[in-house]
Each structure stands twice: as structure tokens, then as C-alpha cells.
Amino acid sequence: MRSRSTRPRLAAAALLTLAVLPITGPSGAAETAPEPGTQTVHIPLRDTARDRSSVREVRSDKPFDMLGLTWKGRAPDHIEVRVREGESWGPWTRLDTEDGGSEPMWTGRSTDAQVRASSRGEDITDQLNFVGIDPAEGAPPPQVSAPPQISAPPQVSAQQAGMPPVVTRAQWGADESKMTWPVEPTTTKAAVVHHTAGTNDYTCDRSAELVRGIYQYHAVELGWGDIGYHALVDKCGTVFEGRTGGLAGDVIGGHVRGFNRNTFGISMMGNYDGVTPTPETVRSVAEMAAWKLDTAGVPADGSTRLVSEAPEGSKYPAGQEVSLPTIFGHRDAAYTACPGKRGYDQLGAIRAQAADAQRSGRP
């Protein structure tokens, strides 16, 4: 999953000149003026019923397709959630934690969820807030349902030379009024592979909704000001533009705590702990990493040294220099399961395909 970026300093305005056309949309907070069709619901868990096993049950008047949990202060040591699927409850899913919130989880359509969370062995569900997001089914993004290998590829705009086909922010329906992050430049030295977690049970014609939900959660609910990843790839291999300026240039993202500087974050959309990423996903991640690293003169099968900016208690505290592959997994730099066991197992294939793409001149 992803980790909050260190709040960047003011950056050169020139980096805001992008190869993406912003769309118009209503301004203001998500609760009062969301983009067309998008709805959010916020429920303090202290106001919900708790059973004897310290499980809190959320019943929302509004349906949601994505959920997250937020808090103030110390992060829980453990969070698990599940949603109602028909007449029964689905499996429990563990969520990684960030500064101020969990990772978001795509649930599919639901109105009911259960939550359990603890810190140092004590129940702290009463300190959490539930966030449900309905990211607007049927909203504007055109032709995102067709994966690249099928007859009608996603509509893309003219962008950087050699870049693989990408669905731009305008095309997936980003409300640019929510982009409040001041862009800060960096130098790309490595690509970091993530997964978004949640469910793999989505259809590719809804991938843009998933991206809009993550954008809403990162930018507004967690207060990051933008989506954390530079790019996202669905299970059909379609690539979606993420962080503002991340394709037109090299900018700091918000995806791996302590190592957001000098890295390019790519997230596979789905949970790849028990499921292997599709060949289409692996290929697109490899091609995107190959292209981005090639623009910086970095070999996809090489290694690099990065200096941590993470706080105490992190895997690598601030100031520690770490040697990492130029394509590595989130778990290599942080205490997390991301990109999942099966996703992590594909890093070798991703590196090999990316290196081959660089040698053949494809990126």
C-alpha cells in the first residue's frame, strides 16, 4: 500500500505545466460539494454498536464501494474490516496503517461493515472514524473499460515520447479542485511496486471509479492533497495516471514512508497476497517502470542507494542509507505486506521484462 508523503515545501510553479488537461468540477470539501455523483459518508465508530468481541458494526444509509478508517494520534497496531455480502459477512481483511488513516479498501457495493482494531492489545475502535466512498459509477471517463490488449484501447492524450498508453487524470475524472499538494521536484532513482489491497473482484470497466475513490481518500480524507501513487495499473493492464506531474516530470509522491523522495510509485489495483497478478498487469508495470527509469538513465535491473527520511520506529530510521534494487517492493522499505506475497513474487519477472524493454528500446 502506500505511505503519506512528507508534507512538501513550496515548489517551482513550472512543474505544474502538465500534459494533462484538467476537467472542470465543483470545488469544496467532499462532503458538501463532491464531483458529480461521488458521495462520502463519515461515521464515528464510537456511535456504533460494539459486541462482546469488540467488533463495531457500521450501517450506512448511503451505499459505498470503498472504505477507509481515520483517526487522530497514534495509529492502531492492528485493523481488520469486512463487509456484508448478501446475507452473510465476507472475510476479514487486514488493513495497513498510515499517518492518520488506514489504506483504502475497494469493497464493491455495500452498506454494512464490521471493524475491529487494537493498540497494545486494547480495543480502540471508539477512536476511529469510518469513511465510505461512492466514486460515481457512470461518471465521465471515456473508454476505460477496454484493456490495452483488446481491440479498443483506452483513449490517451499525446504525452511523453516512448511512454506506454496511459489514461490521464482528465480521462479518469479527477476533480482538480481537490489537488492542493504543492508539487516538489525530485530525481528518480528507483521504482516502487505496490498493491491497493481490498478486493480483486472488480470489472475493468469500473477501474476508473476505483482510481477516483483512492484519489478522494488520499487527497481529501487523509489530507494529502493528491493521490499518492504516480501510476496505477488494473488487472487488465490498463495504466492510469496518478500523482500530478509524475509523468510529465519527476516529482515527490506519497507512497512509501521515508523514501518518497527519489522514487516512482506504481500500484497494482487489487490484493495480491493470495492471488497472482495477471500477466497483463505484470507487463504494464514492467513497461511503465522501464520507461520512467529510462528517462532518468537508470537501469531496470540495477541497484541504487537511498537515504531514509522516516521517523523513529520505521524499518529504516531517518538518515540511514539503504541499498535497494532499482525496482523494489514497498515491503523492502517499510513494515508492510505490500505488494502482497504473490505480488512480491512477481518482482523478478517485472525486473526482467523491464530490463528487456530498456535493451530493446521499447520504453
Helix (H) or strand (E) holding 285: helix 279-295
Global pTM?
A: 0.85
32 vs 96 pLDDT, higher one: 96
C-alpha angle 130-136-140 in degrees, rounded to nearest 5: 150
Which regions of the chain does DSSP assign to beta strands (E)?
38-44, 49-50, 56-70, 78-85, 88-89, 93-94, 105-119, 122-123, 129-135, 190-195, 231-233, 239-241, 263-268, 303-307, 321-325, 327-329
Residues 203 and 223: their CA atoms lie apart, in Å, by 29
In angstroms and rounded to an integer, the radius of gyration of the C-alpha atoms of the chain is 19
Amino acid letter for position 332: D
pLDDT of res. 118: 97
- CA 31 to CA 34: how far, in whole Å? 6
pLDDT digits (tens, 9 = 90+) for 286-312: 999 999 999 999 999 999 999 999 987
CB burial of residue 196 (10 Å; 0-12, 13-18, 19+): buried
Whether the pLDDT of residue 238 is over 90: the answer is yes
**pLDDT attached to residue 74:** 85
Q: How many CB atoms lie within 10 A of CB 59?
A: 11
176-192 burial, b if ≥16 CB within 10 A, otherwise e?
A: bbbbebebbebebbbbb
| Chain position carrying cell 478486493 | 199
Check: CB of residue 199 under 8 Å from CB of residue 207: no
Residue type at position 172? W
Tell me: the pLDDT tens digits for 253-284? 999 999 999 999 999 999 999 999 999 999 99
